[in-house]
Amino acid sequence: MLYLFIASLIWAFSFGLIKTSLTDIDPNVVSFIRLALSFLIFLPLFRLKSIKKYHDKKIKRQLLLIGAIQFGIMYATYIHSFRFLKAYEVAIFTILTPIYVTLINDLINKKPLDIPALFAAFIAIFGAGYIVYSKLSDNIFIMGVILVQASNLSFAIGQIYYKKILNKHPDLESHSVFALLYAGGAGIVLLFSFLSGGWQGFAPTGDQVSALLYLGIIASGVGFFLWNLGAVKAKVSSLAVMNNAKIPLAIICSIFIFGETADWRRLLIGGGIMLVAVIICEQEKVRERWPFKKLDSES
């Protein structure tokens, strides 16, 4: 649990840091620098022989593609959303990711939709809508929400396909191939950055360089390593709870450290509603009491 908590705390600072320091830099450039640094962190652990022993030439391309989606498109849309939303609002709308994982997994594997997860999605949307009710007619705000959901979907799709590969090749060690995922992510956002002209006039300040180093080395590199280490040691129930621990931590950091303002009454009530949605989606005991046929969401 300690590793999971430290990783969540590291990620919690990322929201406010991006909002206060990096919104005037092209999101694709920020994403590339972050992923390139993460790639360098994991490069010493990369072992090509881990892939070669399976005699499957597709694995490398599949891992690069997964990285392009799960990390590249995810970070590009996620970081871009900070131009339209407050940092704590971005954090709130990431809560839908585990629900997307369940629903998309069912669709990809041609299984009946998980009814509790679908119901949970509607509850979570209602809770998030309650928090930001006064902004729902603001087109700029809606654009930010769409970008966060695109980020959530990209991260969910990447997780599902990565799990399928590991299930097919159970001896494949994540740390030995993780650099490929970051390479795929860095490659796609580098292409995006050239298409968007993001490098023109790129002259980061000292504070922005520090923020980029923190996000690339600490948040992505160290954060993901600690999370994977903690996930192996933690119980499934603990992992489910900690998966969304970064959200309240990010809200606290964004408001009390980075100085954002929020309607606390709506935040607490809406947050409680969204928490109920996550519990419905993730807790097996809740599903067993559901008045519908229990559906297996594992691939």
Has residue 66 got a pLDDT over 50? yes
276 Cβ contact partners less than 8 Å away, ≥ 6 residues apart: 123, 127
Looking at every residue in the chain, the average pLDDT score rounds to 80
Name the pLDDT band for 186 (thresholds 50, 70, 90): very high
Q: What is the pLDDT of residue 229?
A: 66
Q: Which region among 76-80, 229-233, 237-241 has the lowest average model confidence (pLDDT)?
A: 237-241
pLDDT for res 88: 86
Residue predicted with more confidence, 127 or 244 = 127
57-67: average pLDDT: 85
Question: How many Cβ atoms from other residues are within 10 Å of residue 107's Cβ?
Answer: 10
For position 194, what pLDDT does the model report?
A: 94
pLDDT band of 299, cuts 50, 70, 90: very low
pLDDT at 192: 95
Mean pLDDT over 227-244 rounds to 60
pLDDT in tens, 5-18: 888 888 888 999 99
What pLDDT was estimated at residue 223? 84
What's the pLDDT band for 91 if we cut at 50, 70, 90?
A: confident
Q: What percent of the chain has pLDDT over 70?
A: 79
pLDDT of residue 149: 92
Indicate whether 292 pLDDT > 60: no
Domain ranges of the chain: 2-288
